[in-house]
Structures are given as C-alpha cells and as structure tokens.
Amino acid sequence: MKIKKWMGWLAIWLGVGSATGCAPVLFPAAVGDRPPGPQELTVWIGDDPGALDPALADRRWTADLLNSLGEGLMRLDSRLIPQPALAERVEVSDDRKEYVFRLRDVRWSDGRPLTADDFRFAWLRVLRPETRSASAPLFFGIRGAEEFHAGRAGPEAVGIEVPDPKSLKVILKSPAPDFPSLTCLPPFFPLPRALAESSSPAPGSGTGGFPSVGPFRLAAWERGRKIVAEKNERYWDANRVHLRKVTFRIVRDPQERLSLYESGELDQTGVEEVATTRLDLVRSPEAAVFFLVFDGEAYPPFRNKKIRQAFAYALDRKAYVKAIWEEGAEPAYGFVPPGIPGLLRTFREENGDLFGDGSPDPARRLLQEGMAELGLASLPPPVFAAGGGPAKKSAEILRDQWKDLLGVDVRVETVPEEALRSGRRPAGAALWLAGWGADSPDAAGFLRLWVSRDSNPSGYSSDLLSGLLESAQGQTDAAARIQILRRAERALAEDMPAAPLFFRRKTWLQKPYVRGIVYLPAGPDWDLKEAYLYGR
C-alpha cells in the first residue's frame, strides 16, 4: 500500500506543513456544556484549497478544510490512534483481511441520510482512472483496487461491498494494520453520488451547496480572501463541537499573516521564524524524515556498507541542526520520526537511537576498512548536489564536517530545486538530501520505502528487510508486529542505504485563549473538532 510523499529542499524551506500532537486543555465541564463567551475562531490557511473534493484532496489546504467539513469511518485522536467516527463499530475477521464498518444513523447537513453507498461510490471514484486522483495508491491494499485503477478489472472486482445501507465491507489483499488509520484521511471520506454527478468540474468547487457530514458546514467562500464554516448541528457528535464559527483567512505572505496575528485578526497561524521564547509558540514534529542519499550507482564507493556507515557516523547532527534549524528540527538517529505510535509510547522512544552522533574514531576506522575492502588508497571526491541559498549552506556545513572528521573532500554543486523536489537522482550526484513523509501515522510506512530498489532514491533493496516487513504485515498481534518493525528499523540502520539527518518540527503561534486544537503529523495539519476559546 503506497503512502508516500517526496519532500525536497523547496518543500523544506517554504511554508508550514503538518505537526503533531497537542492534547486538548479542557475547561472543567461535562460533555455537552458550553465554554463561556463567543466561540468564533479565525485561523490561517495559505491558499484557496481548489475543490473540496475528497478524490482531489492531495493539496494541503483541501485536506485541512475537508477535515473540518467532513469525516471518515474513523478519526485520529490526540494520541494518533484511530477511533470510531462515522462508523459506530468495526468488525474484523480473524485473518485481519476483512473489515465490516457499521455506520451510525447520520444525516448530511442537507438532511439526506448517510449510507454505505456514499463510501463505496466515493472510493471507487478515487480509483477511476478518469478522476486522475493522486490518492488512488492509498487504496491499493484493497482487493482488486489496483487492477480496477489500471483498467484490468471492473468495479465489481474491487473488495468494497455494501451488504446493507448501514454496512460497508472491505476486503484487503493481505492484512494491513494501518488500514484503520487510512480511513481517517480525506480521500476516504464519503461523497453523495448525486453531488458528484451534478457538479462541474468537481464537488465543492462553487461557493456553496456543499453538504457536510463533519463537525462544520461550509457557510461562505470568498476566493483569495476567506472561507467561513459554521457548526454542523446535524453532526453525530455535535455535543463535543464548541466552536460556532471558524473563519479560514487566506494569507499567502508570511509577514502579513504574522502581522494579522499580532494585531489580533488571527487567533492562530503557522510561522517560519519567530523568537523561541514566546509563550504562544507551539512546536510539534511532523511525520517526515530527512536523510542523505548515498548513490552507489553514481559513486561506486557507496556500494560498500562500511563507507556509508563512516559518512553517517561522522556527522555531528546536533551542530548541524543548531546551525541551520535552531529549534525548528531535531537530530535524526533513526528512520521513523517522533510522534508515530509504538506499543505503549512512540515508536521512536521505544526503539531508541540506532547510532551515535559525531563519532570520528569509529567512522575513521570504518572508512579505512571499507577502502581496504575496495582496494582504494584514497577516495575520489563525491559530488553533493544541493539547491541554492540555505540548501547550499546546509550542504557546505556537512562537507566541512566530513573534511574535519574523516579527512574526505566532498564537492558541493548547485542544481535546480525542481530536480531535488521530484526525488529523482540528480545526474552525477553521489549525495543529496531527500525527505519522506507518510499519510498515516504508522512506522511501517517509513520502512517500506526501502524494500524495493525502484521505490527509494538509493536504489537499495534487502531480502532481510523485505522478509521482516512481510512478517509484520501478516501479524495480528500488535505487540509482535511492533517488535518486528523495531528489528526491521535496526536492520535498515545497520545497512545505512541513506543517513537519517533530521526530523523537522512545525511552528505555530496560538493565542493563549485558544484550546483543544490537535496538531496532526500526517494528512491534515490540524483537527478543530474539539477546539474552543476560553478566557479571551
């Protein structure tokens, strides 16, 4: 099941993406009570979301808006654990290949009842080639979905069935423990057939008439200025929705959005650079890892594991992060980022650091052993491909560390940003920085990247890693699965096809009276369902 996004230098240096986990600070009241004062929140988004169409929700702001207007069978809680949402309960077969979602008695904001066919129609629409949905691969774990998308089978072959109007049956090709998390994402949201068939060019592309089944409903849309949502009184969990109105201000300029926040016109905003001592600062990691690619095809010495390890161990990640990111990132000593659930704590906490930082003696020893194995007296200078500006400065810091700690010369060459954003191999480059982000918060999504030489920029593959991930995929016991994934990450770090460098944190400013926003590491940026204002 493909759940990936490439992240290059342009994405790193521009904008604010998703962040994870601020647990709500609740006012002392029972569910259904209302916090005092007007419950009207104004937040920032960076652009118009295009069409509010679950099939086309690969654009960032589309996912953010849909997560407020819509909902899936499940919804992530503040611990990133999927909880029943539009599905009241879920029945899972012993082999974990069949799911039956029993829907709540829910109505759309226009009064129409929600049915299982709203899900089946929406999911098949994502898979239809003519829809051109970038989210189609998310569904490929469903039996027959990939074949239908490729035109090799009809819709009847897809394992999405409607036994009755309130039941959705999903049949997977193989056990996929992250499937419930996927159903939290906007591409898995329902869509009424009548809306899709009557709209042009896509559902929700106009200024109104978009039915909601989530916490809020669309009230107004002034393109380029703002989108206004109001509480959806028909929402099944309306007692937990405290905000009466949410205004999404569309502000493209970073300085303008900061000024609007300081003047009180925004209650919350993403920012790029701000004093770390501010009390209204919220920093959270995102579900992404950034790593240095070792290209053994362009630079044969990187085919040797010890040389790759030497380059990885020699880096002083703490010094690098402080120089480039300050508090905006943290050093990476593994391939799975913080915030991804493990068994009892996060996966990163449970598996710990997989290698040391700035270790010159082991790195020099490994370098000499690797060169001896290859019969090399010295290393030819590898080429480090980097974009301009801050990206080039970043590469130069790493170049200097390798020179100081290993005595190795690395040549930094500037290449177009687009070449790095795409995840393609820059011609002739031995090293470059790439990133990987997952749509669902599951550790396996960060490890599957390295199974096939066609799926990762290093051209790496491993029978051991493949076997471990295949074993984890078939596990029905959560504890056993996490143990296997820990072994898989340790095996990957031993081979070191790429050197994890940093995990990025996202930065938000949030007024002290704003409570209960949950920042998510993957998919939408945040969840406003239980947000409220208190003490304004």
The pLDDT confidence band at residue 273, using thresholds 50, 70 and 90, is: low
Task: State yes or no: pLDDT of 474 exceeds 60.
Answer: yes
Over residues 167-195, mean pLDDT: 91
User: For residue 431, how many other CB atoms are within 10 A of its CB?
Assistant: 27
- CA neighbor of 223 nearest in space, from 65, 67, 58, 57: 65
pLDDT tens for 312-324 read: 999 999 999 999 8
Alpha-carbon distance of 89 to 87, in angstroms, equals 5
Task: State yes or no: pLDDT of 102 exceeds 50.
Answer: yes
The region of weakest confidence among 56-70, 105-119, 201-215, 407-421 is 201-215
Alpha-carbon distance of 172 to 167, in angstroms, equals 16
Distant-in-sequence, close-in-space partners of 271: CB < 8 Å, separation ≥ 6? 16, 254, 257, 258, 261, 507, 508, 509
The pLDDT confidence band at residue 7, using thresholds 50, 70 and 90, is: very low
pLDDT tens for 486-533 read: 999 999 999 999 999 999 888 899 999 999 999 888 778 889 999 999
Query: Based on the number of CB atoms within 10 Å of its own CB, is 179 exposed (0-12), middle (13-18) or buried (19 or more)?
Result: buried
Which of 31-40, 131-140, 260-269 shows the highest mean pLDDT? 260-269
The pLDDT confidence band at residue 23, using thresholds 50, 70 and 90, is: very low
Identify the residue with better confidence: 32 or 413.
413
Alpha-carbon distance of 438 to 186, in angstroms, equals 14
Task: State yes or no: pLDDT of 281 exceeds 90.
Answer: no
Task: State yes or no: pLDDT of 26 exceeds 70.
Answer: no
CB 67 within 8 A of CB 215: no
Alpha-carbon distance of 378 to 374, in angstroms, equals 10
What is the SS3 assignment for 241? coil
Beta strands in 82-225 (DSSP E): 82-84, 87-92, 98-103, 160-164, 167-171, 216-222
Over residues 252-278, mean pLDDT: 87
Peptide bond between residue 301 and the one before it cis (omega within 30 degrees of 0): no
Half-sphere exposure of 2 (CA within 13 A, CB side): 13
Identify the residue with better confidence: 275 or 442.
442
Task: State yes or no: pLDDT of 245 exceeds 90.
Answer: yes
CB 171 within 8 A of CB 92: no
Can you give the pLDDT at residue 10?
29
CB 278 within 8 A of CB 501: no
Task: State yes or no: pLDDT of 535 exceeds 80.
Answer: yes
Alpha-carbon distance of 270 to 285, in angstroms, equals 13
* Mean pLDDT taken over the chain: 87
**Structural tokens at position 164:** 């009755």
pLDDT tens for 42-101 read: 999 999 887 788 998 767 788 889 999 999 999 988 788 899 999 999 999 988 899 999
Distant-in-sequence, close-in-space partners of 257: CB < 8 Å, separation ≥ 6? 44, 249, 251, 266, 269, 270, 271
Over residues 146-174, mean pLDDT: 97
